Chain A
Amino acid sequence: MTYVYSKTLTDSVRQQISIIFALIVREMTTRYGTKFGGYMWAVLDPVLFIAILTTVFSAIAHVPPLGRSFLLFFATGYASFYIYRSTADQVASAVEANRALLNYPVVRPFDAIISRVLLQAATLFVVNLLLFGTISIFVEFGQLRMGPILTASAIGLTLGAGVGISNIVWFHLSSTYQHIWGVINRPAFMVSGVFFLPESIPIPYREILMWNPLVHLVGIFRMGFYPTYRASYVNLPYVIGLAVFSVVFGLFLVWLFDARLREPK
C-alpha cells in the first residue's frame, strides 16, 4: 500500500478539529482525577467558594454598596472576576500540563491552548448558570440585561486567555517570574471592585484604579444585573483594546518561542 502524500485544506481542518476534541476529552477525564464526581468539581469549586465568601462578608458588612442583597453583589463581583482569573490560570498551564502529548508531532502547543480556552469557556458557562440559577431562588432579580453580561464575559475570557497565553511563554522561560507573578496577583481581587464600587474611592486613587481592566470588567457585568447602575467610569474601548492586544501579543510570543516551548524547561 503506497499512497501519495497530499493534504487538502479540509483534511487539515478536520484533523485540527479532532485533535482539539481529543485534547478536551482527555482534559475532562483527567483534570480532577477519576474519583467521585470527576469533572463536576470544576463546576462546584467556584460555586462553593462564592457561597463561603458571601456568608463571611455579609456577616462583616451591614448594607451592600449596591442593591439590597449581599449575595448578588458579591456573586456578580466574584463571578466576573473569576471568568478572567480562572481562564488566565488554566491557559497559563495549558502547555505544561500537556507536555507528554507534545511527543506526538501532530499536537502543537497551539492546540493545547485552543482546547483549554474552549473547555474553560464551556465550564464557566455552566458555572455561571448554576451559580445564578441557585441565587435566583433566594434573591429576586430585576430585568436581566444580557448585553452587558455577555460583553463582560467575552472580555474576561479574552483577557484571561491573552494573559494566560503570554504567561505560558514567560513561565517557561523564567520560574522567578512565575513566582513574582503569583505574589503580585494574589491581592488582585482586592483592587478589582469585587467588594466595593469604584465610585466610593476618593479621587486620586480612583484614577489609578481605573488602569486595572478588571474594575471595568466587573462594572460592566454588574450593569447587567442592576438595571439602574450606570458604571459611568467604564471605558469600553480601553478594556476591549487591551483584551484583543493581549491575545495577539500572546500568540505572537508563542509563535516566536515555539521551538523553546516544545522542549522541557
Chain B
Amino acid sequence: MISLYHVTKVFKHKGEFRYIAKDVSFTIPRGESIGLIGRNGAGKSTLLKLISGTIKPTSGQIIRRANVSFPLGFQGSFNPSLTGEQNVRFVARIYGQDTEDLVHYVQDFSELEKAYYMPVKAYSSGMKARLAFGVSMGINFDYYLVDEITAVGDKNFQKKCRQVFQEKLQSSDIIMVSHSTAALKDYCTTGIVLEDGQLTYFPNIDDAIRMHDENMARR
C-alpha cells in the first residue's frame, strides 16, 4: 500500500510557482494497476519519482508499505562508463539480490549479446531501455513504476515484455505513465488523471482516458 498525505510538490522557476501536486491525499491500494495520465508537463514523471522516493515532496508525507521499484524509464540510472553487466551487478547488490542470478537473467532477457559487456555509454536508447527493463523484471517488486517504456525494441521483444509483465501482474502491480492509450488499456485497470496539481481517481481506465481527452479539448 502506498499512501499520500497532504502531499504538495511545487517547483519555483523565475519567481513563478508550478504545482505538480497541491495538497493531495490518496491511497493506492494493492491489486490494482494504475495508469497515470496528464498533459505534457503536468508532472506525471515527477509524481512517479515522488512515489518511488527518489525525490521528496515540498510538504506532506508519502508512506510506502510495499517494495516499490525505481522509476523505469528511458534515461536509465546506469553509470555510462560501466558495462551493462557491471551495472546489473551494482543493482543486484543494492537490492540484496543474488548477483550471479540477476546477471544471467538480464543477459538472457535483454538479448544484448556482446554489448552486455560494453560500457553503457556506447548503448543506443533502445538498448539502455532493454537493460533497464531486464533489471527491474529480474527483481521482485510489489509495485513497478513504469515511465513510457513499453514500446521498447522490436515486435518480438515487445511480445516478450508483455508476457513477462503479465506474469508479474499475478503478484505485483504497476503504476504506469504513458501517452499511448493502447498501452494504458492493455496494462492498467484503473486510472489517475493529473491536471493542475489535482489528482482524480477513476476505477475504470476508460473513464480516465475520456476525462483526459476532455481536458485536452478544453485547453
A residues in contact (CB < 8 Å) with B: 1-2, 5, 14-15, 18-19, 21-22, 25-26, 29-30, 33-34, 100-107, 258-259, 262-263
> Which residues in B have their C-beta under 8 angstroms from that of A34?
81, 119
* In-complex Cβ contact of B93 among A2, A21, A102 (8 A): A21
Q: Number of A-B pairs whose CB atoms are under 8 Å?
A: 69
> Which residues in A have their C-beta under 8 angstroms from that of B199?
none
B residues in contact (CB < 8 Å) with A: 52-58, 65-68, 70-71, 76-82, 86, 89-91, 93-96, 119, 140, 142, 171
Evaluate contact between B96 and A105: CB separation under 8 angstroms. no
List 6 tightest A-B contacts by C-beta distance, closest first: A103-B77, A22-B93, A259-B56, A105-B53, A1-B171, A19-B94
Evaluate contact between B82 and A100: CB separation under 8 angstroms. no
Q: Pull 25 A–B residue pairs with CB atoms less than 8 Å apart, ordered by A.
A: A1-B140, A1-B171, A2-B171, A5-B67, A15-B96, A18-B93, A19-B94, A25-B90, A30-B79, A33-B81, A34-B119, A100-B78, A100-B79, A100-B80, A103-B70, A103-B71, A103-B77, A104-B54, A104-B77, A104-B91, A105-B68, A258-B56, A259-B58, A262-B55, A262-B56
Chain A residue with minimal CB distance to B53? A105
Chain B residue with minimal CB distance to A111? B94
> Which residues in A have their C-beta under 8 angstroms from that of B52?
105
Give complex CA distance A157, B119 in Å: 33
Determine how close the nearest CB of chain B comes to the CB of A19; give it in whole angstroms: 5
> Which residues in B have their C-beta under 8 angstroms from that of A29?
82, 86
Evaluate contact between A14 and B68: CB separation under 8 angstroms. no
> Which residues in A have their C-beta under 8 angstroms from that of B94?
15, 18-19, 22, 104, 106-107
Known: A21-B93, A30-B81. 17 other contacts (CB 8 A): A1-B171, A5-B65, A18-B93, A22-B89, A26-B79, A30-B82, A100-B79, A101-B77, A101-B90, A103-B70, A104-B54, A105-B52, A105-B53, A106-B94, A106-B95, A262-B56, A263-B55
Task: With a 10 A CB-CB cut-off, give which of B56, B91, B94 has the most chain A CB atoms.
Answer: B94
Evaluate contact between B66 and A5: CB separation under 8 angstroms. yes
Give complex CA distance A101, B78 in Å: 7
Determine how close the nearest CB of chain B comes to the CB of A206; give it in whole angstroms: 48
Give complex CA distance A48, B86 in Å: 31
Give complex CA distance A95, B80 in Å: 16
